[in-house]
Amino acid sequence: MPRPGPAPSFPDEHLRAEGDRPALVIRRSARRRKTVSARWDGARVLLQIPASMGTDRALRHAEELLPRLLRARARQDAGEGEPRSRRRSDEFLAERAGRLSRELLGDRVRPVSIRWVTNQRTRWGSTTPARGSVRISHQLWEVPDYVLDYVIHHELCHLIEASHGPRFRRLEARYRHAETARAYLAGYAHGRGQDPEEPFEDSPEGSSPSSPEDGSSASAPSS
């Protein structure tokens, strides 16, 4: 029996900030049937809706969900609610890696461990393939969510394909903000005095470090 093909993708709809409403990104999914969710993505709100839902109805849902998000952001700014330290926790990375694997890679891969490290000043991330361990540089603590997600997704793609060949690039391209995130990282590297064009190179120890341009790595697939 033939396997079903990949779910169709839809372009994001971007709406500028208006009054007290922050900028919105409306993302449609064929896999959603009824549910609508909203979360912060940097300074924007990402609204995830079923593919069949029109913009007007999506905005009505946004009006219902935004007050809660705005209150949560206000508590964070005041030092309440989820503290900044949570973003800097390994659990935060593991949660994002799990979500990205489910949404973009069919939940096929998970690193054995993923953690922040402070000793990588010229790499966005690195891995030890034999152990399946992923390390993300603390330099990414303050980058927008979509940039951090790109680096994590790039790492996850290496759990399937270790090289940067065509198969890897096809997997990486499933993250729709990859090109924008790479441009951000190139500018970020330049601002920190790093070479944004530094090529990807494998380390002699067998871990695949990510350069400021790539944010890449390799790791072992989960069992």
Decide which of 142 and 4 is more confident.
142
Cα separation of 100 and 216, whole Å?
A: 15
What is residue 210's predicted lDDT score, i.e. its pLDDT? 44
What is residue 18's predicted lDDT score, i.e. its pLDDT? 82
Q: Where are the domains of the chain?
A: 13-77, 84-191
| Residues 137, 120 contacting (CB under 8 angstroms) | yes
What is residue 100's predicted lDDT score, i.e. its pLDDT? 92
What is residue 157's predicted lDDT score, i.e. its pLDDT? 85
What is residue 142's predicted lDDT score, i.e. its pLDDT? 81
Confidence of residue 186 (pLDDT cuts 50, 70, 90): confident
* pLDDT over 80 (residue 203): no
In tens, the pLDDT along 110-159 reads: 888 899 988 877 778 777 766 777 888 888 888 888 889 999 998 888 87
Q: Which residues contact 159 (CB under 8 A, 6 or more apart)?
A: 108, 109, 110, 111, 132, 218, 219, 220, 221, 222
Q: What percent of the chain has pLDDT over 90?
A: 22
* pLDDT over 80 (residue 52): yes
Mean pLDDT of the chain: 77
- CA-wise closest residue to 136 among 161, 110, 160, 154: 154
What is residue 4's predicted lDDT score, i.e. its pLDDT? 52
What is residue 76's predicted lDDT score, i.e. its pLDDT? 61
The CATH code of domain 84-191 reads 3.30.2010.10
Confidence of residue 70 (pLDDT cuts 50, 70, 90): confident
- CA-wise closest residue to 39 among 171, 144, 173, 143: 144
What is residue 22's predicted lDDT score, i.e. its pLDDT? 84
What is residue 111's predicted lDDT score, i.e. its pLDDT? 85
Q: How far apart, in Å, do the first and last CA atoms of the chain sit? A: 26
